[in-house]
Amino acid sequence: MSRKNTADTDPQDPGEISGTTRRILSAADIDRALTRVAHEILESNKGPQDLVLLGIPRRGFPLAQRLADKLAAIDDFDPSTSLGQMDVTMYRDDLRRGPSRVPWPTVMPARGVDDATVVLVDDVLYSGRTIRSALDALTELGRPAVVRLAVLVDRGHRELPIRADFVGKNLPTSSREKVRVRLAEIDSPAAAELGLRGAAEATPQDRERYDEVVIEG
């Protein structure tokens, strides 16, 4: 198993197996997956009309931003009116477990969500509880016509009857394993410096360097 080999692995080489960590998606893989998802969204919605992207903090929002940029490049989609961030912390059912969570800002898209096709965007779909919280949170913001779900990784182990409409990568995992998504906007050293103050701008070089999806354990 990789556990034994990894001690000898060159730590300078982040691309290969390191520790008990396996890299599942590289920066290029992530970008290709998002491009495909963007096309699927447009196809499913029959175009960009009434389309709204809502990213779920933390890493769902940069993914939504990237999808929005791709939609804008492919078709007539306006991120300045139709992209938002929706925090779901206060709607979670596990607030009494683990440490207290500081909520993230909710930024409503300028057009609102009423009668829109809202695509919720998150990084990893696992138990489905976050998405359950998101559906509750969304009802307080307005009444969308349709709600869809896009995720970068679906790792299985659902605890609720929830499924994703658009999936970047289906990833069978053991429940003991951890799936880590790293995105330059949040996980680059410059972004880490900003801390809670939010996400950094990320250049293509930053993405190439810091984007990845790995499995630990």
Partner 1 sequence: MRHLLSTRDLTRDQAIEILDTADRMAEVGQQSVKKLPALRGRTVVNLFFEDSTRTRISFESAAKRLSADVINFSAKGSSVSKGESLKDTAQTLMAMDADAVVIRHGTSGAPQRLATAGWIDAAVLNAGDGKHEHPTQALLDAMTLRQHRAALAGEETTGTGLDGMHVVIVGDILHSRVARSNMWLLTTLGARVTFVAPPTLMPVGVEHWPADVVFDLDTALARDPDAVMLLRVQRERMHAAFFPSEAEYARLWGLTPERLAALDAAGATTAIMHPGPMNRGLEISSAAADSPRSTVLRQVSNGVAVRMACLYLLLTGAR
Mark out the alpha helices in the chain (DSSP H runs): 2-6, 27-45, 60-74, 79-82, 129-141, 184-187, 189-194, 204-210
Q: Which CB sits closer to partner 1, 11 or 98?
A: 98
CB of 204 to partner 1, least distance (A): 26
- 83: Cβ contacts below 8 Å, ≥ 6 apart: 52, 53, 55, 64, 65, 68, 109
**How many chain residues are in contact with partner 1, going by CB under 8 A?**
24
Peptide bond into 59 cis (omega under 30): no
CB of 197 to partner 1, least distance (A): 4
Q: Pick the piece of the chain touching partner 1 (CB under 8 A) from 77-85, 101-109, 169-177, 181-189.
A: 101-109
3-class DSSP state for residue 27? helix
Cα–Cα distance, 15 to 177 (Å, whole number): 19
CA distances from 144 to 120, 147, 148, 208 (A): 12, 7, 10, 35
Do residues 215 and 177 touch, judged by C-beta distance below 8 A? yes
Q: Which CB sits closer to partner 1, 4 or 197?
A: 197
Q: Which CB sits closer to partner 1, 137 or 215?
A: 137
Could you say whether residue 97 binds partner 1 (CB under 8 A)?
yes
Q: Which of 102, 161, 172, 176 binds partner 1 (CB under 8 A)?
A: 102
Q: Which CB sits closer to partner 1, 65 or 133?
A: 133
Binding track over 128-167 against partner 1, x by CB under 8 A: --------x---xx--------------------------
Binding track over 106-125 against partner 1, x by CB under 8 A: x-------------------
Q: Which residue ranges make up the site for partner 1 (CB under 8 A)?
A: 87, 89-91, 95-106, 136, 140-141, 194-198
